[in-house]
């Protein structure tokens, strides 16, 4: 099953030609059930100043310049392995991968946007989610699957699968443990 993530990330990279120069790996990890995936981007940061402004006017604001190094790692929630239908699992995992790859392509190193106001964040998130949806549909078309017409339908389908997975997991947890007989 670990190989499936490697295959699926290679498929996802077809819709991200700018990321072709990076080494991007994906595998399952244990993480909170609230997270589908996360990306670890290895970065290099440096300070940059306007030399002319500093030397001629005596002042310059330094800017921190952050660059993506040649390696990223996508971690997929290991509980997604429990989705029995392999094709459904593939679609959900690839949707999560595309979400993370878009962050890498946009070089969104800090996605929380602490300096942004609530309205700006909401507009950004809506635009970002729409871009994820478009890239996901593009990948589906490359794989010979029909495009999904509404993003809301996709979100609802993913939510339903995850809810069923949660219910299945909670039912398995409720089963009583076997009693041990002491001898």
In a domain, residue 59? The reply is yes
DSSP structure class, residue 58 = S
Tokens of residue 94, six digits = 């690839």
Reported as a single tens digit per residue, the pLDDT across 134-180 is 999 999 999 999 999 999 999 999 999 999 988 887 777 666 656 66
Tokens of residue 144, six digits = 């010979």
Whether the pLDDT of residue 181 is over 70: the answer is no
Helices 118-142 and 151-174 meet at what angle, rounded to 10? 90
Whether the pLDDT of residue 111 is over 50: the answer is no
- Rounded distance between C-alpha atoms, residue 155 and residue 151, angstroms: 6
Whether the pLDDT of residue 94 is over 90: the answer is yes
25-46: average pLDDT: 85
What was the pLDDT predicted at 147?
A: 94
- Which has more pLDDT, 108 or 29? 29
Classify strands 37-48 and 23-29 as parallel, antiparallel or unpaired.
Answer: unpaired
pTM of this structure: 0.76
In a domain, residue 18? The reply is yes
* Total number of domains constituting the chain: 1
Percent with pLDDT over 90 in the chain: 50
10 Å CB burial of residue 129 (0-12, 13-18, 19+) is middle
Q: Which domain holds residue 34?
A: 2-165
- For 164, half-sphere exposure in the C-beta direction (CA atoms, 13 angstrom radius) is 13
Mean pLDDT of the chain: 83
What are φ and ψ of residue 160, in 5° steps? -65, -45
Reported as a single tens digit per residue, the pLDDT across 68-84 is 667 889 999 999 999 99
In a domain, residue 180? The reply is no
**Is residue 75 helix, strand or coil?**
strand
Percent with pLDDT over 70 in the chain: 79
In a domain, residue 76? The reply is yes
In a domain, residue 126? The reply is yes
**Which of 99, 130, 89, 128 shows the shortest CA–CA distance to 7?**
89
Whether the pLDDT of residue 40 is over 90: the answer is no
What was the pLDDT predicted at 112?
A: 45
What was the pLDDT predicted at 100?
A: 93
Reported confidence tier of residue 133, pLDDT bands at 50, 70, 90: very high
What was the pLDDT predicted at 117?
A: 60
What was the pLDDT predicted at 52?
A: 78
What was the pLDDT predicted at 118?
A: 58
């Amino acid at each position: 099953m670990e190989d499936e993530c490697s295959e699926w990330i290679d498929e996802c990279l077809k819709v991200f030609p700018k990321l072709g120069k990076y080494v991007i790996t994906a595998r399952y990890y244990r993480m909170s059930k609230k997270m589908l995936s996360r990306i670890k981007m290895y970065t290099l940061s440096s300070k940059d100043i306007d030399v002319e402004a500093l030397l001629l006017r005596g002042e310059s604001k330094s800017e921190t310049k952050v660059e993506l190094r040649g390696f990223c790692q996508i971690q997929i929630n290991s509980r997604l392995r429990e989705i029995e239908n392999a094709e459904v699992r593939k679609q959900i995992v690839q949707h999560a991968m595309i979400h993370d790859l878009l962050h890498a392509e946009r070089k969104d190193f800090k996605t929380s946007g602490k300096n942004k106001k609530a309205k700006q964040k909401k507009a950004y998130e809506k635009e970002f989610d729409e871009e994820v949806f478009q890239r996901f549909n593009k990948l589906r078309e490359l794989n010979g699957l029909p495009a999904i017409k509404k993003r809301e339908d996709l979100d609802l389908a993913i939510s339903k699968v995850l809810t069923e997975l949660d219910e299945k997991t909670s039912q398995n947890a409720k089963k009583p443990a076997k009693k041990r007989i002491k001898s």
